[in-house]
Amino acid sequence: MTLPEEMGIMVLPEVVFFPHNLMPLHIFEPRYRLMLNRALDGDRMFALAQPDRKTGRRPCEVSGVGLIRACVQNSDGSSNLILQGLCRARFHEIGTSSNYYVGKPEEIVDEESPDTVENEALATKILEQVHHIQDCREALPQELRDFLSEIKDFHMLVDIVAGSFIKHPERKQELLETPNLSRRLRILAICLCQEYPKDAA
C-alpha cells in the first residue's frame, strides 16, 4: 500500500481505529472540516488516533489510517462520512497544520507467516470466545458469528474482533501497536477472557 508523504490526524478521546473496520464520523469543527476538504481533494485518507496518555493532547504515535468511502456535506457546513480502516501506521514528525495534527505515516507490516499451527489454535479459541459473548440484552447476532467464522485472514480476524468487542482503549491501543500477529492473537484472547468471563455470561 502506498501512503501519502504526509497525512492529517484526527484526535478523538478513547477511539482506536483498526483496519477492516468502518467508522461513521460527523465532522463539524472548523479545523477538521479543513482537514477533510484537503483529504477529499487528494488521496481521501486521514488517520484516527486517541490522545497520547502521557501528553493528554498529542495523538498516539501509532494510529489507524482510513479511506473516505462516502461523504455527505450538510447545509451547516458539517459533514457525515464513512471511514474504512486501511492499515495501522506509525507517524513521524508529528506537527500541526491549521490547528490539526499532521504526520508522516509509515505502514506497520508484520512479515510473520500467518499460517502456523499456533495461530490457527489461537484463532479457533478467539472464535469460541466470541460465540460466548452476550451483551445485557441479546445474544450475538448469528450473521456476525457466521461472518467471523468464515474469515481466513487472521490479521482481519484480530482487527474486526478487537474493533467490535474490546472495550478498554488501553487494550485496544496495545493491540494496534503490536506488529506481530501471534502476539496480537494471544493478547486478544486474554482480553476477551478478561472482559467477557464465561461465568458471567
pLDDT per residue rounded down to tens, the chain (201 residues) = 789 999 999 999 999 999 999 999 999 999 999 999 999 999 999 999 999 988 777 999 999 999 999 999 999 999 999 999 999 999 999 999 999 999 999 999 887 777 789 999 999 999 988 887 755 445 566 777 778 888 888 999 999 999 989 999 999 999 999 999 999 999 999 999 998 887 654
Q: Same domain for 27 and 88?
A: yes
Domain holding 62: CATH number?
Answer: 2.30.130.40
Q: Same domain for 88 and 130?
A: no
- What is the domain count for the chain? 2
Domain boundaries, position 196 = 117-200
pTM above 0.85, yes or no: yes
Composition of the chain by helix, strand, coil, percent to 5: 40, 30, 35
